[in-house]
Amino acid sequence: LDTGVAERVHSAPSDIRDLDAALADLARLDERLVRVVEMRYFCGMKDAEIAQALGVTDRTVRRDWEKARLVLAHALREAT
């Protein structure tokens, strides 16, 4: 995920559906990963803020973010 994805998502309803489906699949894998994505990508929170909100370390947030990005990138590639 990067800011370019956000621009494409806003331009195509099918991309929004694909992203929603990918987030739902991610939630079935690990709900915390979805929370990290929501807080960082959609809310613009920093790792320390997310860590405090979730009760985990900054390092855990960074690992979760990387894992979530990989899973979502794979799912979105599959959807296209």
Residue 59: its pLDDT value, please? 98
| 37 or 10, higher pLDDT | 37
Percent of the chain past pLDDT 90, that is, above it, reads 71
Residue 15: its pLDDT value, please? 81
Average pLDDT estimate for 4-22: 71
Question: Rounded to an integer, what distance in angstroms lies between the CA atom of residue 50 and that of residue 53?
Answer: 5
pLDDT band for position 57 (cuts 50, 70, 90): very high
Question: Rounded to an integer, what distance in angstroms lies between the CA atom of residue 60 and that of residue 8?
Answer: 29
